[in-house]
Amino acid sequence: MSGQPRARDAVFSVPPYVGGDSNLTGINRVIKLSSNEGAFGTPPEAVAAMRAAADLAFRYPDGGSSALRRAIGATFDLDSTKIVCGNGSDDLIGLLIQSYGGPGTELVMSAHGFLIYEIAAKLAGMVVRKAAEINLTADVDAMLAQVTPATRLVFLANPNNPTGSLVPTAEVFRLRAGLPQDVLLVLDAAYAEYVERSDYDPGMALVDAGDNTVMTRTFSKIFGLGGARLGWAYAPESVIDVLNRTRMPFNVSGPTAAAGIAALAVPGWVERCRIHNSRARATLTARLQDAGLIVHPSETNFVLVDFGAAARAVAADEYLRARGIIVRNVAAYGLPHCLRVTIGTDDECGTVVEALTEFAHIDD
């Protein structure tokens, strides 16, 4: 016999996901603003909880993540039986797509929506339909126009990564109302805790209003636990049942569950992070605009900076890297002329502003 095992063709339809870089050769102190990790690191209480949980690492964790779900439910005032936890929200997004999608079906997302949806959908053998945006913001009418009889899932990151833009509650309701009842709407609210606008609901209202909308959330951003891998979904009973059948039995580790519970309990953590973020984002935006750069409005812990041309964005990226600063190239999102910059500490933001101001002057 010759040959070798060959995976399904769909597996080869996607390039491997490339995350934000962490290292630069020859530079010791790197400022990493490429993955939207929280500006304040891991909450110390979560570190302590993981250390304590390490002693029990030989035990299998609670497969149902009961204590963690109760803590999430209490924090967000939600019924914990309508929550499923995952190994990051990516885990749950993948499970929803595997479960409700498949060959011959379609997924609708916006033109610059979060790439994981497209990757997971293609792996599942689905066709991905992207709707044009207006001012880098998802457009409900354009999304509805992409719906066909084959549509099974519609994904909306709200606010969206990498654009930072938000779709107001009333528009999200209009999206739901315009979709067929049997299409699952997934609202990915990874950045919900950063939003200060009053015309925003992360998705609870629509989940509660029917049986065809899911909200996903993460501990990777404001809670500073990206490396621990923890996300959750709030969903109607039928979707919870599907997720509990399709997820792996121990998809959240013991130390990670402990970290999540501890992070939720830190007094004032979310408020402190949000207040810093809003202030630092406003300052960063204003100073980059002073340097002549276009900065898109953002409701998240990052901003999208527009350099006008792909070559100039690449040059800016190289200029920053040479100074130990890593931001995110977003060419894969159809935005080759932009770079995405995470809001870090005031020091980190200041260093980025200085470097980009120099760059803007040299480049003029």
Ligand X SMILES: *Cc1c(COP(=O)(O)O)cnc(C)c1O
Interface with ligand X (CB under 6 A): 36, 88-90, 114, 157, 161, 188, 190, 218, 220-221, 226, 231
One-character DSSP codes across 270-303: HHHHHHHHHHHHHHHHHHHHHTT-EE---SSSEE
Residue number closest to ligand X, CB atom? 88
Tell me the closest approach of the beta carbon of residue 91 to ligand X, in angstroms.
7
Q: What's the closest the beta carbon of residue 353 comes to ligand X, in angstroms?
A: 23
Q: What is the token pair recorded at 318?
A: 């190289």
Minimum Å gap between C-beta 309 and ligand X is 26
Between 119 and 353, whose beta carbon lies closer to ligand X? 119
Strands (E), the chain: 31-32, 83-86, 106-110, 127-131, 133-134, 137-138, 151-157, 184-188, 213-218, 231-234, 294-295, 302-306, 325-326, 328-329, 338-342
Q: How many helices (H) and strands (E) does the chain have?
A: 12, 15
Toward ligand X, which CB reaches closer, 188 or 201? Answer: 188
Q: How far is the CB of 113 from ligand X (least distance, A)?
A: 8
User: Nearest distance from residue 348's CB to ligand X, in Å?
Assistant: 19
Q: How far is the CB of 333 from ligand X (least distance, A)?
A: 11
* Alpha-carbon span 95 to 90, nearest angstrom: 9
Please identify, using beta-carbon distances, which residue of 109 and 355 lies nearer to ligand X.
Answer: 109
Choice between 302 and 307, CB closer to ligand X: 302
Rounded to 10 degrees, the C-alpha dihedral 228/234/236/241 comes to 10
Neighbouring C-alpha atoms within 13 Å toward the C-beta of 323: 18
Output 226 or 344, the one with its CB closest to ligand X.
Answer: 226
Whichever of 89 and 329 has its CB closer to ligand X, that residue is 89
